[in-house]
Structure 1
Amino acid sequence: MLKVQEIRELIKLVDQSSIDEFVYENEGSKIKMKKTGSVTVSTVQPVVQAAPAAVQPAPVQAAAPQAPVVQEVKQEAPKAEQAADTENLHKITSPMVGTFYASPSPDADPYVSAGSKVSKDSIVCIVEAMKLFNEIEAEVNGEIVEVLAKNGQLVEYGQPLFLVKPE
């Protein structure tokens, strides 16, 4: 059976992640967590039409109020540039949901930073999940171009952590 502190950690991880439902079964015990709502961020702007001073505005029907217009702002150009830049780069991704740590301890230097040379078996970070610290290896020989995660950040399964220029 899980301890109360372990259950609290699970709740916190599920709450901070993008998953909507989590089920854990062990030795006849079952824990099921489900999120009730999701948050969508968008810009809402009411539609306002200004009438010229010489023209009388048309009467507005009270039965059909005008709904606000939802506009999502997308920045396509920077994404296209980033896609072209990252096409030839290898992404080191998180193999699990957990907390990203760039160094073996809080007072130690990070394993790698931008410009660091790595080999396939080089440890680049730690992902902590349920009090287990998992060392993540580079998987490729090359040079770290960019560190995509911040120290202490919650990371998702498959989330890119590093960009590596293969040799």
Structure 2
Amino acid sequence: MFKIQEIRELIKLIDKSSIDEFQYENDGEKIVLKKNETSVQQGYEPADAPAAIQAAPLAPAASAAPEASVPAEAPVTEKKEDANLHKIESPMVGTFYASPSPENPAYVKSGDKVSKDSIVCIIEAMKLFNEIEAEVNGEIVEILVENGQLVEYGQPLFLVKAE
């Protein structure tokens, strides 16, 4: 069963993002969150709900993510058109943190050399801190997001000049 705190955290994350609709199913339980211009609506359906309730198809939430990341990518592709640049993208919706804690320095800064298993940042989602790795060997050319910024799935975080 979903905990009320988990649902509240989901509502907050979706409210801050450009996602209009979110659907999640786990162990036969289903939660559907829809956002319109004025409020967030929450729907909860137990697995044994009548078929008529469960039959309404929903568009996948991921369809909203590319639209949200287009403005962030547009200046980058115009400014940094280089075949050797690799984009490190966010694997999830969450909050970007450049360092493990406010007192510590950032994992990386522009000009730093990284290996493919180097940690470059943390993405927090639902109170879980996920370490994001560089994915390639190279040099950090540009950091595309600010510390504490909400990021979308697939949003570019870093540009790396691959070696």
TM-score, normalising length: structure 1? 0.69
Tell me the equivalent position of 1:99.
95
- State the AA in 2 paired with 1:89: L
Q: Partner letter of residue 23 of structure 1?
A: Q
| SS class of match (2:37) | coil
Distance 1:106 1:20 in 2: 32
Question: Cα offset for 1:27?
Answer: 3.6
Q: Is 1:127 the equivalent of 2:123? A: yes
Report the 3-state secondary structure (helix = DSSP H, G, I; strand = E; otherwise coil) of the residue aligned with 1:95.
coil
* Structure 1 residues 134 and 150: alpha-carbon distance in aligned structure 2, compared to 1, 3 A threshold: same
- Counterpart position of 1:10: 10
Greater Rg by CA: 1
Partner of 2:144: 148
Distance 1:80 1:6, change over 3 A: closer
Once residues 12 and 140 of structure 1 are traced to their aligned partners in structure 2, the CA distance between those partners, rounded to angstroms, is 33
Which residue type is aligned with residue 33 of structure 2?
A: M
Deviation at 1:122, TM superposition (A): 0.4
Query: 1:18-63 CA deviation, whole Å, 9 max, x = no partner?
Result: 211112223443221111239xxxxxxxxxxxxxxxxxxxxxxxxx
Residue segments in structure 2 that go unaligned for 5+ positions in a row: 39-73
| Over 4 Å off, 4+ runs | 78-81
Name the structure 2 match of 1:158: 154
Amino acid of the residue matched to residue 36 of structure 2? T
- Structure 1 residues not aligned, in runs of 5+: 39-77
SS at match of 1:103: coil
Cα deviation for residue 84 of structure 1 reads 5.0
SS of residue in 2 equivalent to 1:10: helix
Total equivalences in the alignment? 128
Alpha-carbon spacing, 1:86–1:153, altered in 2? closer, same or farther (3 Å): farther
Match runs of 1:1-167 below 5 Å? 1-37=1-37, 79=75, 82-167=78-163
How much has 1:106 moved relative to structure 2? 1.5
Residue in 2 aligned with 1:62?
A: none
For residue 6 of structure 1, report the CA deviation from its aligned partner. Answer: 1.8
Q: Which amino acid aligns with 1:21?
A: E
Kindly provide the CA deviation profile for residues 109-160 of structure 1, in whole angstroms up to 9, marking residues without a partner as x.
1000101100011000011111111111001111101111111111111000
